[in-house]
Amino acid sequence: MIEFIQVRKKYNNSEVLKGIDLKINKGELVVLIGPSGCGKTTTLKMINRLINKSEGKILIDGKDINETDAINLRRNIGYVIQQTGLFPHMTIKENIGIVASLKKWSEEEIDKKVDEMLELVGLDPVEYKDRYPNELSGGQQQRIGVARAFATNPEVILMDEPFSALDPITRESLQEELYELQQKLKKTIVFVTHDMDEALKLGDRICIMKDGNIVQFDTPEEILKNPEHDFVEEFVGKNRIWNNPEFIKVSDIMIDNPVKANGSRTIVQAIEIMKNHSVDSLLVTDKEKKLVGIVTAKDIRRNIDRKVTLEEIMQQEVVTTDMDSSIIDVLAIMNEKNVGYVPVVDDGNILKGLITKSSLISILSTQFLDTEVEI
């Protein structure tokens, strides 16, 4: 959808962008982030030619943006900035409909679209469309800015630190609303921020920049787990993934080789296996390592006959999870089903690991202590 090919930007003897390559997919929300002066805002403003590149190419849908008239280009790209950019002498309706008006939409079409966009950003059209920007709070003004950017249904929307001047509560509310809006409309959004929490919350992918270069461009999960550079690790924060547990997958923390036994084992044999491994339950698998059941110490105590096999007494309905689930998902399962363990299986029900409540607590508490020490 949007592609930068060896793009450079120079001001006199200073090179702000040093030959970046960047490809943003259609319907993707990409966050540009980095310290002041890294080139993130320059990169954003090059997309609608508010800043012109010095070298390289920028393509939208495969077409060089320099081959398009700059005014027409901007009219087809939504743009939201920190200061809202609303015209104070215009009503809310006029502000939202300004680009549609320039595109010669009819009054009826504009009126309908304004009502639709106000409802989309959670504002009552009857109450707000005839008011002026100075009659609105900062959060309401920013909602109008977002509504205006989406109004003519552009495929590309640029957002330059749109929420940074707002109070924390309003900011969080607008982040959530933008996320929900993007889930509905699936626009291609390029979003600049200096706040890593905001980037993690909103971005499908995050582009971390430093000194005019792209240091890492990847999903939030991959950046948190596998920073490719010392700068990324420092910028993101070494323990930030533990503040975002939705990114911690079962595969990251599961017990890789849980204690298991074949269903043909007797209770006597099972007791020995459990004693040797200091566990109070056994996962029962068949010859193909498929999970077929579970036997607990309570199940064994209820059976006097020690020659009985595990497949005769095992519980066959076992609550499981997969390796891509998050620890939040697993904790929800444990609480809902009131269990202290959840086996991990693949699509073929092959046993891959085990999550236990005690191991989960141990991992989380260890990380918390490590974090406290570093602080």
Concatenated DSSP letters of 288-302: T-BEEEEEEHHHHHT
Residue 144 contacts by C-beta under 8 Å, 6 or more apart in sequence? 84, 86, 92, 95, 96, 121, 123, 128, 133, 136
Residue 95 contacts by C-beta under 8 Å, 6 or more apart in sequence? 86, 87, 133, 144, 148
Return the SS3 of 208. strand
Angle ∠(7,8,14) on CA atoms, nearest 5: 165
Other Cβ atoms closer than 10 A to 205: 17
Give 204's DSSP letter.
S
CA pair distance 225, 248, nearest whole angstrom: 8
Residue 90 contacts by C-beta under 8 Å, 6 or more apart in sequence? 98, 132, 133
pLDDT at residue 222, as a whole number = 87
Domain boundaries, the chain: 2-248, 251-363
pLDDT tens, position by position, 309-344: 999 999 999 999 999 888 888 888 888 888 888 999
Residue 375 pLDDT class (50, 70, 90 cuts): very low
pLDDT tens, position by position, 154-195: 999 999 999 888 888 888 888 998 998 899 889 999 999 999
| CATH superfamily assigned to domain 251-363 | CBS-domain (3.10.580.10)
Q: What is the pTM of this model?
A: 0.73
Write out the CATH class of domain 2-248. alpha beta
Amino acid at 38: C
pLDDT at residue 349, as a whole number = 94
CA pair distance 216, 196, nearest whole angstrom: 14
pLDDT tens, position by position, 120-160: 888 999 999 999 999 999 899 999 999 999 999 999 999 99
pLDDT at residue 246, as a whole number = 75
